[in-house]
Amino acid sequence: MRIVFAGTPDFAATHLSALLSAKHDVVAVYTQPDRPAGRGKKLTPSAVKKLALEKGIEVYQPNNFKQEEDIQQLRDLKPDLFIVVAYGLLLPQAVLDIPSKMCINSHASLLPRWRGAAPIQRAVEAGDITSGVTVMQMELGLDTGPMLHKVETPIMPSDTGGSLHGRLAELGSQAIVDVANKFAQGPVLGEVQDDSQSCYARKLTKEEAIINWHLPAIDIVQKIKAFNPFPMCYTLLGDNRIRVLKAQIYPQLHKAMPGTVLAINAMGITIACKEQAITLEQVQLPGKKPMLVSDLLNGKHPFQENYVLASEL
């Protein structure tokens, strides 16, 4: 089969690498245009582009598929299978109709749950106990197409958005290879999704990363896990933005205002929430590296008992 691959971040690059290792014929790669990155805002190629260039695969980077010449360019590649993984662009029907077999997508959730841009983090944030990858046929709706293959994995209490991301990248890579192998043998049929079971995984924003101490402790801890390593939850201590990488629930009843520093001791830094409290275990002070709170408390630090941390900018 002639395969054209479309993707942008590391998650997609892992899938591309697996296809190449399985000796599938990837004739071209599509990825988003180079973006400014780092302090110098230097134009930087995507992870998928870097891998494709290393492997000598031709790379295309249209801004979108609104121009007929970009659509015709894809037609000229004569793909049998168009594999899309975290590409970041909406594809019109004219593109979806091009492959002789199908346009398929690897999505990091157990569809129809968590359609949308941030399924991994939203699953952790919601306290889901399972996640997985769904390979589906693409259609105009957002992650609504028939499901071709599913793999599941438990979400462990220790999981963060980052750890689950890494695991699903590996599971998804094997899943996409398995589905590509099936297409090489003949037609592949999908299972229609039950729209009544769907929910939407909205895009992550830095604005929602500030910790709202007026929420229950369980909600705050789940969000801290989900947003690690990006966009990383934080709290405000005066003018300082303190990133919180890890915390656990402290089942203490209290009458303090949410955000109040209840205790600073060998257990850590305990902060009142709407319900119960949490104990900070790993934080990052401005201009510093992440550190365990047990190490932080051995030196000078900005936390004070009875201080009330803000819940908004």
Specify if 154 maps to a domain: yes
Spell out the residues 6+ positions from residue 64 whose beta carbon is closer than 8 angstroms to its own: 70, 89, 90
Q: What are the tokens at 187?
A: 């037609």
**Helix or strand (DSSP H, E) at 280:** strand 277-284
Q: What is the arithmetic mean of pLDDT over 236-251?
A: 94
Whether residue 304 is contained in a domain is answered as: no
pLDDT of residue 313: 66
Residues 104 and 235 placed together within one structural domain of the fold = no
Supply the range of the domain harboring residue 114. Answer: 2-201
Residue 313 domain flag? no
Q: What are phi and psi of 122, to 5 degrees?
A: -70, -30
Using one digit for the tens of pLDDT, what is the confidence trace for 69-79? 999 999 999 99
Q: Do residues 84 and 167 share a domain?
A: yes
pLDDT (tens digit per residue) in 192-242: 999 999 999 999 999 999 999 999 999 999 999 999 999 999 999 988 899
One domain, residues 155 and 244: no
What would the pLDDT profile of 53-90 be if each residue is shown by its tens digit? Answer: 999 999 999 999 999 999 999 999 999 999 999 999 98
pLDDT in tens, 152-197: 999 999 999 999 999 999 999 999 999 999 999 999 999 999 999 9
Phi-psi region at 132: left, alpha or beta (left = phi > 0; alpha = psi -120 to 50): left
Query: At residue 41, does pLDDT exceed 90?
Result: no
Same domain, 179 and 97: yes
pLDDT (tens digit per residue) in 119-135: 999 999 999 999 999 99
- Give helix then strand counts, H and E, for the chain: 8, 17
User: Residues 79, 217: one domain?
Assistant: no
Percent of residues, the chain, with pLDDT higher than 70: 100
| Number of domains into which the chain is organized | 2
Q: Is residue 312 pLDDT above 80, yes or no?
A: no
Q: Are residues 42 and 177 in the same domain?
A: yes
**What is the rounded CA–CA span in Å between residue 98 and residue 15?**
21
Q: Read off the CATH number of the domain in which 163 is found.
A: 3.40.50.170
Whether residues 171 and 55 share a domain: the answer is yes
245-280 residues labelled b (16+ CB within 10 A) or e (exposed): bbbebbebeeeeebbbbbbbeeebbbbbbebbbbbb
Per-residue CA distances from 145 to 13, 108, 114, 140, 194 (Å): 23, 14, 13, 8, 10
Other CB atoms within 10 Å distance of the CB of residue 207? 9
Please identify which residue in the block is written with the tokens 């793909």: 79
